[in-house]
Structure 1
Amino acid sequence: MKLALITDLHANREAVQEVLDHARAQGAGRYAFLGDYVGYGADPGWVLDTVMDFVSQGAIAVGGNHDSGVAKGPSPTMRPDARRVIEWTHSQLDDRQLAFLRGVPLSRTEGDMLFVHANAFAPAEWEYIQSRIEAVRSLHATPCHYTFCGHMHEPKLFHLSGTGKVGDFIPSPGVAIPVPAHRQWLVIPGSAGQPRDGNPAACYAMFDIEEQALTFHRVPYDHETAADKIRRAGLPPALADRLARGE
């Protein structure tokens, strides 16, 4: 079975729709959503309804820091633009959507797979995995051989051998990577709704469970329409401008 790994959707309807269409065409049999469904973008209601529909059909979902901010209020350390969008987003959602954000777990384990937004060592503290140091700390925090997480908006793959040797690399889109279970793997698919690696194309990854193979994908989408919606909603213009630059 192929499992589509989608994270950091950030209320970007245009990007999320293209990613879902692409994953379906690639033969996805199941979906895992790794958090941050809202924040930054102008279509939080549509994105949440879409994710909730997939969850009702058996998809996996965990919550992210922007989801928590909308459900419980922004944290004191949140940047002004993010705080402004969170307050606006809360006003756009109904009770059912807010209840989903309040109830979605921070992590979920299925078999040998861990799904979490930020990391395995402290999911509720939202620390980023920026280097091998944080990646190893996360891998040591779980017995699972496959950890899938978001939060970082750039695609990356880390691995840890049984002898403690760690490696990392930036994957090439469309190239299947063998990920045998005798190692531990930490997979960051990159952001579907707001990539930050200089490429505006949406990111996601596909895990072929039987073949133990992982493929990262980039999917172009109409970022101009997504940006125009942000401006028309009265949200910070910088959030619109960055979509075209992939940052």
Structure 2
Amino acid sequence: MKIAVMSCIHGNYEALDAVLLDIDRQKAEQIYCLGDLVGYGPFPHAVVEQIRSLDIPTVQGCWDEDIVEGLNACECSYPSLLAERRGHLAHEWTRENIYPETREFLAQLPLTLKSDRLCFVHGSPHSNHEYLMPNMDAFTVLERVLAIDADVLFCGHTHVPYVRQLEGGQLQVKVRQPELGNGEDCSSFKTPLKRVINVGSVGEPRHGRPNATYVIYDTDTGGVTLREVEYDYRKTCAAIIEKGLPPIFAWRLSRGLEYAEKADDPTHVCQR
């Protein structure tokens, strides 16, 4: 069976519409969404209504959570003070421009979804704010996959698509036992091949082009196709400016960039 997996729509209805048309052309039998339906973009309500109307299984993204729970991240979550100010502006605009039923829908979204040996999350199984970067320590990534007992972990959040294979290997675990004179009990186990598939972003790509990205996955063969879909991003850029959102959002959308800002430690998750 062919399934489509998408993420990070961010209120960009033009991009979502184009991706849904492409999914239909690819004849996918099931669609999953990895959250961040809102934030940054000018059409949060329209995006949520489309996802609801199609009954697409969806997990809660970090922006979806923040709109429901309130913005509770500390300054360490932002790569700069400028990015923090823009983030707060986008949060306030989104919070003020969504309907109560939209907020209720975002509130009931689960943090994870599973289907057989596939798991769907926004950031990681640990937190929807955690970034699983392509060059992240392999042991840490493997621990995240093993924690939810899956063979394939689908995620988003980074806005850059990639496929990473974690080759099967042998892990050794040491347990210190003071009652045995500080001796260590060693045990080991083997892990089969695991994969992490980041589906990129529909509504705010950061891979260097404005095109929307998503993934087609074949559950029978394990085949992965990273899809890149062109759409009229200029309409979304114009709406961003028209609705009073920070103009830099339109600039970076038109270029598929992150505005050259990256956190020192993208895997960091604030504990506050």
Map of 1:119 onto structure 2: 124
Structure 2 CA distance for partners of 1:222 and 1:164, relative to 1, 3 Å: farther
Deviation track 1:176-200 (CA, whole Å, cap 9, x = no partner) reads xxxxxx6211100101101111111
Q: Is 1:160 aligned with 2:140?
A: no
Contact 1:129 1:152 in 2 (8 A): yes
Query: Aligned with 2:202: secondary structure?
Result: coil
Deviation track 1:36-70 (CA, whole Å, cap 9, x = no partner) reads 00001000010000111222xxx321011100111
Distance 1:42 1:64 in 2: 17
Distance 1:142 1:197 in 2: 28
Q: Is 1:15 aligned with 2:18?
A: no
Distance 1:163 1:132 in 2: 17
Aligned-partner residue type, residue 91 of structure 2: I
- 2:104 paired residue among 96, 99, 104: 99
Contact 1:135 1:158 in 2 (8 A): no
TM-score for both structures, normalised by structure 1? 0.87
Q: Is 1:231 aligned with 2:241?
A: yes
Structure 2 CA distance for partners of 1:213 and 1:164, relative to 1, 3 Å: farther
Question: How well do the aligned residues superpose, as a CA RMSD in angstroms?
Answer: 1.5
Distance 1:218 1:118 in 2: 21
Deviation track 1:54-91 (CA, whole Å, cap 9, x = no partner) reads 22xxx321011100111111123362212211211122
Q: Tell me which structure has the larger Cα radius of gyration.
A: 2
Map of 1:63 onto structure 2: 60
Distance 2:46 2:28 in 1: 21
Query: Aligned with 1:211: secondary structure?
Result: coil
* Alignment gaps of 5+ in structure 1: 166-181
Deviation track 1:123-175 (CA, whole Å, cap 9, x = no partner) reads 25x1111223143332232221011111011011111122259xxxxxxxxxx
Map of 1:168 onto structure 2: none
Aligned-partner residue type, residue 143 of structure 2: R
Structure 2 CA distance for partners of 1:164 and 1:219, relative to 1, 3 Å: farther
TM-score for both structures, normalised by structure 2? 0.79
Number of residues paired by the alignment? Answer: 226
1:80-99 alignment to 2 at 5 Å? 80-99=85-104
Map of 2:131 onto structure 1: 128
Distance 1:13 1:113 in 2: 27
Distance 1:19 1:209 in 2: 20
Aligned-partner residue type, residue 162 of structure 1: G
Distance 2:239 2:103 in 1: 22
Report which stretch shifted further, 89-98 or 27-36: 89-98
* Alignment gaps of 5+ in structure 2: 78-83, 172-191, 258-272
Contact 2:142 2:194 in 1 (8 A): no
